Amino acid sequence: MGATLSAPVRTRRPGSGDRWPLIFLAVMLLLLLAVPTLLGGTAPVFSVFNAAQSFAGLGLVALALGLTMIIGEFDLSVVGTYALGGMLAVKFGAENPFLGALIAVVGCALFGAIQGLAIAKLRVNSMAVTLAGYLVALGAAGTIGDNKSQPFPNFEFTGTFNAPIAGVLSLRSLITLVIFVIAGLLLLRTRAGRDMRAAGGGRRAARTAGVRVDLIVVVTFAASAGLSALGGTIQSYGVATATSNPGLFPLIFAVTACLLGGVALTGGQGTPVGIFAGALGLCFLSQLFTDLASPQFMVSLVTGALLVAVTLAATPALAQWRQRLIYQKDSTDSQTARRDS
């Protein structure tokens, strides 16, 4: 008596959708190692190192966007906080790069929390709020940087930051790798991760189940802004320059990496492992075209084709068709087993 029946929260088992992204990553790595070597191109190890350098900054933008997609939202402001974070780090981190990174991450995380608070409490569409946030953050980066690129004068730190580790990593890529590991453990092994997927699977059902959805939204948007700011910081320190306006490429990369990594636009599905595989696989693909001296439109063409294929594969109609095939196969196998017995 007095019990309340709650609707099931739509989520998938953690890690169940990471197989195909990992296959994509493995194929891209194999192509990067094999194709240039067969054609007499650059050394494969150096190519992997370059791809990891690109992944160091852009991978965190993909992770930032992916977290908001998992809870059923979409953070367009990641490009703005990516630029703002890099600019703040360069401005305040010339003498102490760690202080500059701290100011960038904390400042942008507070900015993201304000966006999350507006989305959670005012029930405003996240794309509208974060589009405004993108413009504000980009305007702030342009104001701080006088609307032009700003140099990072600490070349000694930049050299250390980019120094090879085991031939294929550097300090910048190692930091990003560690953050992905931490994010994966948090989402897969903690209640907070389960609550994030529950919030993305269905807000009403999640609230009925006791999930503090508003808190999840605020914290996720704060984490998204902080991560993208850290990505911009890593990129700016790595190339010794902060850019006031990086264009839309980081956002396009992040969306593509998330979809290739198994994150659903409808929410409730996706893991940092899949995002990692999608982002690093894209970096391998881009580096492969660089090694082959291919024109930029070829990269866009192939990436777009991959994105279309992944989007079509995730459609409900195709998923139902696959389920019917599996069901028919299981039924046929059961009938065959009964006849044989």
Q: Could you tell me if residue 104 is inside a domain?
A: yes
Our CA angle for 116, 118, 122, nearest 5°, is 130
Residues 116 and 186 in one domain: yes
List, in sequence order, the alpha helices (H) in the chain: 19-38, 44-70, 78-92, 97-122, 126-144, 155-162, 171-189, 191-201, 203-208, 213-239, 249-260, 272-291, 296-313, 316-340
**Mean pLDDT (whole number) for 124-144:** 94
Residues 276 and 164 in one domain: yes
Residues 73 and 177 in one domain: yes
Residues 46 and 148 in one domain: yes
CB atoms within 10 A of CB 41: 15
Strands 150-151 and 241-242: antiparallel
First to last CA, the chain: 49
Q: What is the mean pLDDT of the chain?
A: 87
CA atoms within 13 A on the CB side of 295: 3
pLDDT band at residue 16, thresholds of 50, 70 and 90? very low
**Mean pLDDT (whole number) for 56-82:** 96
pLDDT band at residue 223, thresholds of 50, 70 and 90? very high
pLDDT of 237-251, one tens digit each? 999 999 999 999 999
Which pTM value belongs to this model? 0.87
**Mean pLDDT (whole number) for 13-42:** 78
* pLDDT for the residue numbered 19: 83
d(CA 119, CA 107): 19
* pLDDT for the residue numbered 9: 45
Residues 212 and 150 in one domain: yes
* pLDDT for the residue numbered 316: 63
- Number of structural domains the chain divides into: 2
Residues 194 and 339 in one domain: no
* pLDDT for the residue numbered 4: 35
* pLDDT for the residue numbered 311: 74
Q: Please give the residue range of the domain that contains residue 328.
A: 297-341
Cβ 299 vs Cβ 286: under 8 Å? yes
* pLDDT for the residue numbered 44: 81
